[in-house]
Structure 1
Amino acid sequence: MDELKTPLLDELEKGEWPSFVKEIKRAAAKNPGARDLLRQLEASYREKIGHWKHGGIVGVKGYGGGVVGRYSDDPERFPHAKEFHTIRVNQPAGFFYTTKKLRDMADVWDKYGSGLYNMHGSTGDIILLGTTTENLQPCVDELADVGFDLGGSGGALRTPSCCVGQARCATACIDSMEITREITMHYQNELHRPAWPYKFKIKVSACPNDCAAASARSDLAVIGVWRDALLIDQAAVREYVNNGFNIFDRVIRKCPTAAIDWDSQKQELELRTEDCVHCMHCINAMPKALRIGKERGASLLIGGKAPVVKGAMIGWVLVPFMKMEPPFNEFKDLVDKITDWWAEHGKNRERVGELIDRIGLSVFLKEIGLPPLPQMVHAPRSNPYIFWYPEEVEKHGEK
């Protein structure tokens, strides 16, 4: 094999950070597809133009999604990268694997693909980078034989993803992994057969720390929370203070709603439960003294997304508190109402949060049957006019 020269890509290997170029070179040493990928990428840097061709649909039997077609626009120059399709593989909840299962998957991918992985893509899936159209079906078949299914792509439910939750986290309010597994199994048709205007993501974080970044990365975020007062161990608080912990600067002055205070005479931490917004800062600062409450469930946020049609959006509260208990029927019913309404009214490539922004939250709430609540206010009113539905005017007049 002739020497591969990539002077521009070599620059990306310099410095203290890990480099994707180094990993591609490792795969290129034994795989011609990875080798041509390097050559094409070097050409793109040199010529200042991308060499992936737009368009092209490819898939496997029984699935409408899960495979992203990728074709080189210069197949004669890069023959082993002329087809370089990506396979999205559904990851286990919480990203828990056994080494045997990873070896099984690696054996299949070495046989049919480039040997390159993205563990994990921003959507959560295991991303297998680079295979041919001919190898797609046997690769997916053998992945299924060792226990791996495809994830979502296109206008479908994207692969649900979550934090590790109760498996390792002391502040978990819900079983994020059980919720993720249940909705993955329940929505198999919506996952594998795209039928919606665009993608729909559900991500689950077991507590308000939001380690899955669900509020920013999902159309419907499930954030574990407690409804009652947080638990305070006053003796442990005093131990923090007596050991030199600056409770005023590190906790009390950083409470966003000024819900806590320190009584220096009683040597006790005081909490105004009605003002607490469960931001988790005090718990994170004093984990031995403060604990999440006993009445646990989840807040549901709607509309989070990265920028495409409209700019980046952070999810806002849709349901302040929902008990998340198996088999999660209340949650599933709400998902069905939201996606049915969105499928009927959404434009092509319009995410559900963008549709709500376009039509109005009041219309959305009326359509899915949720009563308006103060927690749902996304931003203060920007105009002074108040509009009423006719039936509300009549009802108001009767009073």
Structure 2
Amino acid sequence: MSAPPGLPSPDELLKKAEEYLKELEKGPWPSHVAEMRKTGYPLHVYGVGLVARKSPWGPSVVKTKRLTGVLARIARDWVPGGGEEVHFRVFNTPGKFYPTDYLRKLIKISRELGIGLIEAVGQTGAIVINVKGKDVADKMIDALREIGTDVGGSGDAIRELNACVGPALCEFALYDTLHWFVEFRKDKRIHDAITVPGLPYKFKIKFSGCPMDCARANRADLGFIGVWKGAPEVDQELLRKKIENKEVDVHELVAGCPAKAITWDETKKELIIDGSRCKKSMNCIRKAFPAIKPGKERRVAVVVGGGSKGRYGPKLGWFIGYLKPDEVKKAIDLTFKVIEPWDKEAPAKNRLGDYILMEGLYKFIEKAGIDLEDTPRIIEKLPDNVPYRVLPEEERKKYADFAEKIKQVVKV
């Protein structure tokens, strides 16, 4: 690959790269460059990339005896001195809780077979451990398996699972995200789909305990989000005390509801929430907890097709129904129902959300055989003169009412 135009000679380029790196070490805050100097990372390649304002890395390949999906990069030919970087995505712990003995074992492996660099909390959910080189890749895999973990989640596979801390630390958790994480991980079908790529593209599964969505489940190919049905619970007496103590501004509380589902009865001094309109934003709960709490009828909302990248751009997941908090086994089976039509029909490098956009949500639901509580349905029979064959009854009625309003305006 040719060098970007305007770069200095190789010696000058390395000198300039070092100037950039030293600049990043200045200041009272911790410096990622200073920490990376303590490891075996080819830092000069990173510095050259900063100078060139272009990625200095090109793709490389690592072959292992029993595994695929290990990631490797090699410095492009215009980078002086070259360099190689190999890393594994390693299974994480539920909620990213690390027992100290387990963490010590990971560090020992990283120092002996790696370069002493670990990314413990990656956005995808995995731990990332850098390897000394291709020749020790198999040794590191064996060492990681000996301490009870494994390598996987790279390439066109199910990526490493990601869960929020759930009931371990959060009072808002509406189902046990950590238990769901463990049950998914224990399933052999899930394990095999993480360790060996075989899907049209990557597939992310995330568990968020409540609608605040700390695990970003609404941006996953398959997300499970704790919710409740109906209105939040309101402790009117406690809420009145909070209002009197100026801990809560009730008018701000009412105005902040995105669904306009909240009203304040000034005479009775009571807060009224219309459960049929509540969108579960948790704005009122965050501002007035524990005077306002999630409702007791708990559910796990299932969303599909989310992602920050894709052929058609970023998108949030589509709701396809509810599960109950104890239906984790059903959720695992549902995972493969969701994957099946996408795996059979989607072109390579199309995320699940891209496939759903091409097929239509209701056709996808039908192909996958999804049958959950409150799964969106296409109405079975429509009048012959209505062309909305792919719309559910509620949505069709909205369009019909809108058309009638336009007709009235035109008549006037």
Give the TM-score, by structure 2 length. 0.82
1:24 aligns to 2:24 (yes or no): no
Aligned equivalent of 1:46, options 36, 40, 51: 51
Deviation at 1:248, TM superposition (A): 3.4
For 1:64 and 1:355, the matched residues in 2 are separated by 25
Deviation at 1:374, TM superposition (A): 8.8
1:300 aligns to 2:305 (yes or no): no
Aligned equivalent of 2:24, options 5, 12, 34: 12
In structure 1, give the amino acid aligned to 2:116.
G
Name stretches of at least 5 consecutive residues in structure 2 with no aligned partner.
1-13, 378-385, 391-412
In structure 2, give the amino acid aligned to 1:25.
R
1:159 aligns to 2:164 (yes or no): no
1:193 aligns to 2:196 (yes or no): yes
Moved more, 365-374 or 226-235: 365-374
Deviation at 1:60, TM superposition (A): 2.7
1:202 aligns to 2:205 (yes or no): yes
Cα gap change, 1:246 to 1:143, in 2 (>3 Å): closer
Deviation at 1:76, TM superposition (A): 9.8
Contact 1:365 1:372 in 2 (8 A): no
> Residue 310 of structure 1 aligns with which residue?
312
Cα gap change, 1:264 to 1:48, in 2 (>3 Å): closer
Deviation at 1:333, TM superposition (A): 2.4
In structure 2, give the amino acid aligned to 1:354.
D
SS at match of 2:37: helix
Q: Give the 5 Å matches for 1:1-399.
A: 6-14=18-26, 18-27=30-39, 33-34=40-41, 37-54=42-59, 56-65=60-69, 67-74=70-77, 77-78=80-81, 81-82=83-84, 84-186=85-187, 187-216=190-219, 218-319=220-321, 321-325=322-326, 328-370=328-370, 386-388=387-389
For 1:139 and 1:190, the matched residues in 2 are separated by 21
In structure 2, give the amino acid aligned to 1:367.
K
For 2:350 and 2:249, the matched residues in 1 are separated by 46
Per-residue deviation, residues 76-103 of structure 1 (Å, max 9, x unmatched) = 9536x33x21111110010001222111
For 1:48 and 1:156, the matched residues in 2 are separated by 31
SS at match of 1:155: coil
Moved more, 205-214 or 257-266: 257-266
Contact 1:231 1:290 in 2 (8 A): yes
Contact 1:69 1:85 in 2 (8 A): yes
Cα gap change, 1:119 to 1:50, in 2 (>3 Å): same
SS at match of 1:222: strand
Per-residue deviation, residues 272-296 of structure 1 (Å, max 9, x unmatched) = 2212122111110011201112121
For 1:271 and 1:192, the matched residues in 2 are separated by 47
Contact 2:162 2:207 in 1 (8 A): yes
In structure 2, give the amino acid aligned to 1:199.
K
In structure 1, give the amino acid aligned to 2:337.
K
Cα gap change, 1:117 to 1:57, in 2 (>3 Å): same
In structure 2, give the amino acid aligned to 1:271.
I
Moved more, 363-372 or 171-180: 363-372
SS at match of 2:109: helix
Moved more, 198-207 or 8-17: 8-17
> Residue 404 of structure 2 aligns with which residue?
none
Cα gap change, 1:334 to 1:374, in 2 (>3 Å): closer
Contact 2:342 2:352 in 1 (8 A): yes
In structure 2, give the amino acid aligned to 1:43.
V
Deviation at 1:112, TM superposition (A): 1.0
Contact 2:48 2:79 in 1 (8 A): no
Per-residue deviation, residues 254-308 of structure 1 (Å, max 9, x unmatched) = 1112212221221221122212122111110011201112121211111111224
For 2:223 and 2:246, the matched residues in 1 are separated by 38
Cα gap change, 1:246 to 1:227, in 2 (>3 Å): closer
In structure 1, give the amino acid aligned to 2:103.
L
SS at match of 1:120: coil
SS at match of 1:270: strand
> Residue 396 of structure 1 aligns with which residue?
none
Deviation at 1:171, TM superposition (A): 1.3
Deviation at 1:221, TM superposition (A): 0.9
* Cα RMSD after superposing both structures: 2.6
Per-residue deviation, residues 323-358 of structure 1 (Å, max 9, x unmatched) = 1315x2321222111111100011110001000101
Name stretches of at least 5 consecutive residues in structure 1 with no aligned partner.
28-32, 378-384, 390-399
Give the TM-score, by structure 1 length. 0.85
Q: How many residues align?
A: 367
SS at match of 2:171: coil
SS at match of 2:129: strand
For 1:346 and 1:267, the matched residues in 2 are separated by 56
